[in-house]
């Protein structure tokens, strides 16, 4: 189910159609992936309970974002060579491993930083693949609307997961929070399978073009 597979399928595109099954499932997948991260917005509470100092908490939380940002250009190249579905699945597997790893971490140290780094790496992979898929499958006339809706899906996750996470912590402790974060990941992969459909017709002639990250940035700011 990679980009090459999509390109070999014939399918007519409908510029007026946005709310099809693939787009709905893609939004659900984004919601669940961002729910995983939003649950762990509460990780500073766990760090504080471990007795970590404020600068340590800042370091641990910042490492995730650094890993996600630094790895993003490499994700673009990986998508070009391996396809969106492969990169998304790799990201989901990495996020799941990291989310379960939090259960085993009871104090600050290299293991904690490693978990945060691979979590950021996996998040970057999943999000990059999802946005690439959206850009490829939504007709140009509908992309503004589509990305606005995707943004709303992300904000819903950010708004809903932390309050739910606080309730879980209050009732059953931090391990339940980690399990909830981990549980959203396989669900994201399952619903994302409905989003990875053949590329629409308006991209069939563009599928073999090579995408260069630096060139893309130059075009973006010209």
Q: What is the mean pLDDT of residues 187-213?
A: 62
User: Is residue 39 within 8 Å of 177, Cβ to Cβ?
Assistant: yes
- Give dist(CA 115, CA 97) in Å, integer: 9
**Weakest-pLDDT range from 138-142, 179-183, 200-204, 212-216:** 200-204
- Beta strands (DSSP E) in 169-218 are none
User: Which DSSP string do the residues of 119-144 spell out, in sequence order?
Assistant: HHHHHHHHHHHHHHHHHHHS-GGGHH
pLDDT band at 197 (very low <50, low <70, confident <90, very high): low
The fraction of the chain above a pLDDT of 90, given in percent, is: 62
What pLDDT, in 10s, does the model give residues 97-151? 999 999 999 899 999 999 999 999 999 999 999 999 888 888 888 888 889 999 9
| pLDDT for 135 | 86
pLDDT of residue 200 exceeding 90, the answer is no
Burial 22-35 (b: 16+ CB within 10 A, else e): bbebbbbbbbbbbb
Report pLDDT for 158: 94
Domains defined along the chain, listed by start: 22-221 (1.20.1250.20)
207 pLDDT more than 90: no
d(CA 148, CA 206) in angstroms, rounded, equals 25
């Amino acid at each position: 189910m990679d980009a090459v597979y999509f390109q070999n399928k014939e399918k007519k595109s409908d510029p007026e159609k946005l709310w099809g099954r693939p787009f709905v499932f893609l939004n659900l997948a984004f919601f669940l992936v961002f729910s995983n991260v939003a649950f762990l917005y509460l990780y500073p509470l766990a760090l504080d309970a471990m007795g970590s100092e404020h600068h340590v908490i800042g370091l641990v939380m910042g490492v995730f974002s650094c890993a996600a940002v630094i790895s993003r250009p490499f994700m673009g190249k990986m998508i070009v060579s391996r396809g969106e579905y492969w990169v998304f699945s790799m990201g989901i597997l990495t996020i799941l491993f990291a989310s379960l790893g939090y259960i085993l971490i009871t104090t600050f140290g290299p293991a904690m930083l490693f978990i945060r780094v691979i979590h950021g790496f996996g998040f970057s992979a999943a999000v990059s693949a999802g946005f690439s898929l959206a850009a490829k499958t939504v007709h140009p006339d509908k992309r503004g609307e589509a990305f606005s809706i995707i943004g709303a899906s992300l904000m819903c996750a950010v708004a809903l997961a932390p309050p739910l996470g606080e309730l879980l912590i209050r009732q059953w402790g931090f391990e339940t929070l980690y399990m909830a974060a981990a549980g959203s990941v396989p669900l994201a992969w399952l619903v994302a399978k409905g989003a990875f459909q053949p590329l629409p017709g308006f991209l069939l002639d563009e599928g073999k073009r090579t995408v260069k990250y630096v060139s893309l940035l130059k075009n973006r700011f010209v």
